[in-house]
Amino acid sequence: MSWLIVAGFLIFFFGMMLSIGLHEIGHLVPAKIFGVKVTQYMVGFGPTMWSRRRGETEYGVKWIPLGGYIRMVGPLPPRPTDDPNKLRTLSTGPWQGLIESARQASLEEVRPGEEDRVLYRKKWWQKVIIMSGGPAMNFLLAFILFAIVLMGFGIQVAQPVVAEVSKCVITQAERDKGQGCTPSHPQTPAALAGLQANDKIVSLAGTPISTWEDATKVIRTHGAGPVAIVIQRDGKPMTLHTNLIAQDRPSLDDPTKIDKGVGFLGVTPTFVLEKQGPGHVVAVMWDLTKRTAQALGRFPEKLVGVWQAAFGGADRELDSPMSIVGAGRIGGEIAASSAPVENKIVGLIQLLAGVNLAMGMFNLIPLLPLDGGQIAGALWEGLKRGYARVRRRPMPGHVDVAKALPLAYAMAAILLVMGTLLIYADIVNPIRLSG
């Protein structure tokens, strides 16, 4: 099975490299459309593995596959009092020298006649489009990949048809220990009612049921107490009666949380494979986007758990952040599992879709050196110019993103440390799909 693990890792790895390449194309295409000079398009970092020059742009692949970039000329404006075509003496302040060096490097590739091809001189909305192009490509890829799964393969949908009746009531702690029914365990309300496999639930407590979600909501909100269950058995309607009990169950909105004292019946639904429409893809994307945004808000807290798992031997949580190494390892587990081939393909596609969605969201954080930092600067420039236009004041200059370079360097150092921690944790204490 080891070759399957390697195959799954490689499939995910090349899918990830393609995603990174398309992310950079999302920046490259609008940059060229708006006339920005782009000197490099690279997938990866470090020494160059392969490259070829087409026109003014060098396209290539580098040896460290942990990202990518395009090099646009002139992302930073010169000082307002400077001539952009002349060098100046560097200031000697603690950060000023670094900032001025970055300014000069930003303009060193500007040739005579190319002054209007620098990024900082473009209109604010053009800069927003250029910098948003990468994350937008990730969102588009995620949507396409989820659409392939949901519309092409379909998903398992729970039906209000009984697949199995639980014989006894077992607590979550007993269930976690793998304990089965004993004579001391009480029967479930479903068993007491006489429910059987293949019974179709038509209504609960007088509420019509058309989906399993309807049944779950009615059972949970009803709580403990008597309930009438109308079913169809072998095509014939029947009414059964039982008393629901209260139990602590995993939340439907967040499985990591527990809902206290919700109603419990004790049946497992039947699942059927159904292909979904575009509307369902949009709904899934919206739901996952909200969940990803919430997860990013808890990112520092989750990193503490990663540190404890890496250096303290703590258990690694399933929703823990992971690096491309960890995600590739998950891809290997999916490929090596005993699931049917079709399920493995679906699993790998969903994994790549989820990573693209997370990549797009992470890059929108409004801090340099992420795309969101440049977007925030361009939006601030547009706001200032719009205000000046309304108040009939002189048009302000371009927003000087260079002033935020100290923060950008600090963020880059944090991202480097964070990436190293995640890779180390994914090697010594990885997330595992199976125990």
**In Å, how far are 31, 238, 295 from 37, measured between CA atoms?**
8, 74, 37
**In Å, how far are 34, 315, 348, 364 from 299, measured between CA atoms?**
36, 17, 24, 15
For residue 158, count CB atoms less than 10 angstroms from its CB and return exposed for 0-12, middle for 13-18, buried for 19 or more: middle
The pair of structure tokens assigned to 35 is: 């006339």
Helices and strands, number each (H, E), in the chain: 12, 9
Alpha carbons 238 and 18: distance in angstroms, whole number: 56
Residue 224 phi, psi dihedral angles, 5° rounding: -70, 145
Q: Quote the longest CA-to-CA distance of the chain.
A: 92
Inter-residue contact 189 to 242 (CB < 8 Å): yes
Alpha carbons 235 and 237: distance in angstroms, whole number: 7
Alpha carbons 233 and 210: distance in angstroms, whole number: 16
Is beta strand 258-264 parallel, antiparallel or unpaired with respect to 267-274?
Answer: unpaired
Q: Is 56 annotated in the active site?
A: no
Inter-residue contact 158 to 212 (CB < 8 Å): yes
Count of positions (residues) in the chain = 435
Residue 58 phi, psi dihedral angles, 5° rounding: -95, 120
List 24, 100, 333, 381, catalytic entry: 24
What is the H or E stretch that residue 4 is in? Answer: helix 2-33
Alpha carbons 16 and 169: distance in angstroms, whole number: 45
**Which residues are identified as catalytic?**
24
